[in-house]
Chains A and B, each alone.
Chain A
C-alpha cells in the first residue's frame, strides 16, 4: 500500500529558480529516501535521511525530515533544465529493516523551463 503522498503532483519553474517538493507519510519510519526518475527510465537514488536526522545536504539538494509531522521536503536549488524528471519519496517503515522494503509515494513531476 502507498503511504507516501507527494505535493505538489506537478511543478513547473524557470531555470535558476528553486524547486520544493513535499512528502507526507503515515507510519513510523527508519529512514526516508528520495529518488529521481527520468521519463521511461529506472529510479536513481538521490539522498537518504535517517529518522534521527533533521536535515541533510547533497550538492544542490537539501532534504528535511520532521518525524513529528511525518513529513519531508526536497529542495533543489538553482534548478537546471536537466533536473526535469519525476521525484519520489520512499519510506522504510519500522520493522522493514530486515527486508529492505520501501513504500513509494506517487511522485512529483518537475519541469524546469530553459
Chain B
C-alpha cells in the first residue's frame, strides 16, 4: 500500500546529541514537509521541499536540518542547537503543488530529551 513511513516511532536523545528522523514515501509525491507538534497544540512547519535537491525553511527551522537527495526520502536532523526538541514530529507529502491538493501525513515520531 502507498503511504508515508516515519521511523523510529519513539526516540530518546541525550542533551548535545544530534538525531535523525526518517521519512519515506512511496506515493511518488513531489513535495514533502516536516511539522512539529507540541502537546495540545497545532502543527508548526519546520522545513519543506518541493523538489529533489531543494528545500526551504519553514517557520521554526532553527536547530533543524534536512536533505532531499531522493524523491522518496526527506530525513530531518534535530541538532544540538535545538534547545527544546521534545515534541511530536510529523512528516507529510503532497502530489504536486496547486490549489486544493491535500496533504498526506505519516504516523509521527516522538522525540524526548533525556
Which chain A positions have C-beta within 8 A of B44?
2, 104
Interface size on B, residues (CB 8 A): 34
Count of CB-CB pairs between chains A and B under 8 Å: 78
A residues in contact (CB < 8 Å) with B: 1-2, 4, 30-31, 33, 35, 40-45, 48, 50, 88, 90, 92, 97-102, 104-107, 109
Query: What are 23 A-B interface contacts by the 8 Å CB criterion?
Result: A31-B99, A31-B100, A33-B102, A35-B105, A41-B108, A42-B4, A42-B90, A42-B108, A43-B103, A43-B105, A100-B94, A100-B96, A100-B97, A100-B101, A100-B103, A101-B45, A104-B35, A104-B42, A104-B43, A106-B41, A106-B42, A107-B40, A107-B42
B residues in contact (CB < 8 Å) with A: 4, 6, 31, 33, 35, 40-45, 48, 50, 56, 58-59, 88, 90, 92, 94, 96-108, 110
